[in-house]
Amino acid sequence: MKKVILSAIILFAATKLFCQVQTQTISFYNMSDRWSVCLSAGSVIFYGDIRDYDHTPFWKNQMEDKWGWGFRIKKQFTPVFAFSLNFVGGKFAGKREINNEYFKASMFAYDFGVKLDIIPIITRKDTNKFSLYGTLAMGLIDIRTIKRDLNNNYLYAYGYDESGEKLGNATTEMTIPIGLGIGYKIGKRFGINLEFKLYNIGSDKLDATLSNVNDKISYASLGLVYRFAVVNTQRTKPETTPERPSNFLF
């Protein structure tokens, strides 16, 4: 709960600061406009040491067939640019038969990032049915993981005891998620999106196996978007600055 409250404070402070800076230079949506939330679900796949095949689809390996969920709060500042506060939780796993070992893990990631939509740049319109966007964020990820051999004998763990019960605090690491997505608006309030995010993690502890290469997690999801009512459809413009075509992009 403390992490959620801290994340909300960071989001509010960042949007407030952004608005104060931008009023001096460019046009933007009002602070009360263009807020939305997104609830998603999808597959979580691990990339690291304990994995039999790097490119085999996860549904062909039941050990690595794990799922997760996501929640996002987004503030759209211009047709192109938005800030978002993102949460993703779920489970992931891997198996390495040649080493006679496997692991199972859980994760909860929380990050703050930006979203850039290229469709408004092409169409030069404020509103479009489709969106094609990229995301970049920075945050933290909490993990618990346990490694066993293929006979289920305990080998090593972070955040679990030998029986698989939670032990102490989760391990927290820094992560830099990058993503691509496509969205479609369904009416004025709802929309759907397909999104792929790759979590680059500054640690090699996710599979409880240390090496010289940091681990990664991907989250491929289908999301349902709800947009809150637009209070004012006009973007605020500085009174002393004449309107320029370039303002549209920011």
What pLDDT is recorded for position 210?
Answer: 82
Write out the H or E segment, with its range, that includes residue 52. Answer: none
Mean pLDDT (whole number) for 139-148: 95
What pLDDT is recorded for position 56?
Answer: 53
Mean pLDDT (whole number) for 215-237: 78
Q: Please, where are the H alpha helices in 204-243?
A: none
Q: Which of 16-20, 33-37, 70-74, 155-159 has maximum average pLDDT?
A: 70-74
Secondary structure letter of residue 166 according to DSSP = B
- Percent of the chain at pLDDT > 90 equals 51
Q: For residues 164 and 189, what is the distance between their CA atoms, to the nearest angstrom?
A: 43
**Closest alpha carbon to 218 in 199, 234, 236:** 199
Q: Nearest 5°: CA angle at 136, between 34 and 128? A: 40
Write out the H or E segment, with its range, that includes residue 120. Answer: helix 119-123
Instruction: Specify the fold of 2-232+241-249.
Output: Porin (2.40.160)
pLDDT digits (tens, 9 = 90+) for 121-132: 898 887 889 999
pLDDT digits (tens, 9 = 90+) for 66-117: 899 999 999 998 889 999 999 999 999 988 888 899 999 999 999 999 999 9
**Closest alpha carbon to 86 in 18, 3, 19, 17:** 3
Q: What 3-state class would DSSP assign to 246?
A: helix
What is the b/e burial string over 159-183, where b = at least 16 CB atoms within 10 angstroms of the residue's CB?
Answer: bbeeeeeeeeebbebebebebebeb
Side-chain-facing half-sphere of 248: CA atoms under 13 Å: 13
Residue written as tokens 């006979």?
A: 151
CB 138 within 8 A of CB 170: no
Q: Is the pLDDT at 16 greater than 70, yes or no?
A: no
Mean pLDDT (whole number) for 144-171: 92
pLDDT digits (tens, 9 = 90+) for 147-156: 999 999 999 9
Q: For residues 71 and 23, what is the distance between their CA atoms, to the nearest angstrom?
A: 30
Domain borders along the chain are 2-232+241-249
